Structure 1
Amino acid sequence: MMTKINVAYCVFIMLLFIACGQIDTQRQSDTLKKEMKAKKLKRLTEGQIQTAALEEGKSIVLRLEGILLSIADTNNFDCEEFKNIQFQNEVLMSFKLFCQQSPEMNEKERQIWEAYQNNLSQKLPIGDNLQKLGQTEFLYSAPLYIKNQYRGLWSIVLSKKEIVRKM
């Protein structure tokens, strides 16, 4: 009688281990399938990548402006208040806010700044802009408006590799 119970108990334990192993194997298999799908080669045009970069840039600017408006005095805005803000995003490599022309600007940032200033002086609209920085990065720029008044230039460097991964 005792041996039948021991045998039944051993069989039960073995079945339990086998079942648990299959569940874990199924989870690993599902995870592996998702990873393989994510790493599958994608045929993307440069236009699709640039459109995705533009959308990422817009999204980042919206979040940065939300942070800025939550900490800044909009009646007496000081660009320096925003210099030490920490913000991370998987496609974001760096960001800067320029409220005046600066020696820190690279050539493209300076050109965009001057174009914005030219448009403002001629009362023309200014909008966001996307430029390639080499083969691996994009420069997204957008004007900063506070209370419908132009206050500066957002300069956001995006990783092309991470944008493609997200697509």
Structure 2
Amino acid sequence: MNRFGLLSLCLVFVGLSCNPERVQYTKELKQEMADMKIKRVTNADLVSTVDNLGAKISAVAQRELAAQLEKTTDPAEQATLCKLQNLPKTQALARSYGLSIQLLGEADVQNKALSQKEREVLDAYLYNAEKNLPQISNIQKISDTLFIYNNPVPENSLICKTCFGDQKEQLAVWRLAFSKREVIRRMNTKNKK
């Protein structure tokens, strides 16, 4: 078979295998294609995005939890709410952004499931609560693929009183664990050059 015949045969096979009707453009495929695009991302961009997303998500979770706690006086239901169960908006945000949302307290300073950095930050929050110092949000890069956003709940909040009222210091801190991939997905890179 000559080169022309071999080339013709290859083109026929390629033409048969590239049937455009077979390709289904699902939402997942579109997302995967968007994820494959090259993006120029700096650490400052990542931290800024985590800060913006963390502030918005923790505010929604805090409003929802406080509203649900106001509606009940049942201690069992309050305990369930403090574990962030039966909070549909918060759970939907966690699924949508591919993140883990937790509410931490004073006892979590000793929680070995948290990284050493996280326990040190919680200890600093506890120190500030004991000394009545102002509390601010915090972002930690735990590994190459994990960012932790912490946002303290105001001490006079119903959340602190209900969920952590039995502790010496009524400390409540939101912990949002973002994967780097999900953060990059949500970054607005259109304005960047």
- Indicate whether the TM-score tops 0.5: yes
| Counterpart in the other structure of 1:19 | none
The question of 1:152 aligning with 2:179 is answered: no
The DSSP-based 3-state class of the residue aligned with 1:72 is: helix
| Contact 1:92/1:156, CA 8 A, preserved across alignment | no
Q: Give the C-alpha shift of residue 140 in structure 1.
A: 0.6
Q: Which moved more, 1:126-135 or 1:151-160?
A: 151-160
| Counterpart in the other structure of 2:182 | 162
Residues 112-162 of structure 1: CA distance to partner in whole angstroms, max 9, x if unpaired? 221012122333211100001211110110101216x76411111011101
Counterpart residue identity of residue 99, structure 1 = G
| Counterpart in the other structure of 1:42 | 39
- Percent identity reads 26
Which one of 131, 135, 144 corresponds to residue 135 of structure 1? 144
Task: Please list every run of 5 or more consecutive structure 2 residues that lacks an aligned counterpart in the other structure.
Answer: 1-20, 161-169, 188-193
Larger Rg: 1 or 2? Answer: 1
Task: Please list every run of 5 or more consecutive structure 1 residues that lacks an aligned counterpart in the other structure.
Answer: 1-23
The question of 1:120 aligning with 2:140 is answered: no
Larger strand share, 1 or 2 = 1
Q: State the Cα RMSD in Å.
A: 3.4
Q: Which stretches of structure 1, 4 residues or longer, exceed 6 Å deviation after superposition?
A: 32-35
| Contact 2:84/2:102, CA 8 A, preserved across alignment | no
Q: Give the C-alpha shift of residue 33 in structure 1.
A: 9.2
Number of aligned residues: 141
Alignment of 1:78-89 (within 5 A): 81-85=81-85, 87=91, 88-89=94-95
Q: TM-score, normalised by structure 2?
A: 0.59
Q: TM-score, normalised by structure 1?
A: 0.67
Change (3 A) 1:79 1:142: farther
Residues 23-69 of structure 1: CA distance to partner in whole angstroms, max 9, x if unpaired? x9xxx7xxx99975663211111111110011111111011112101
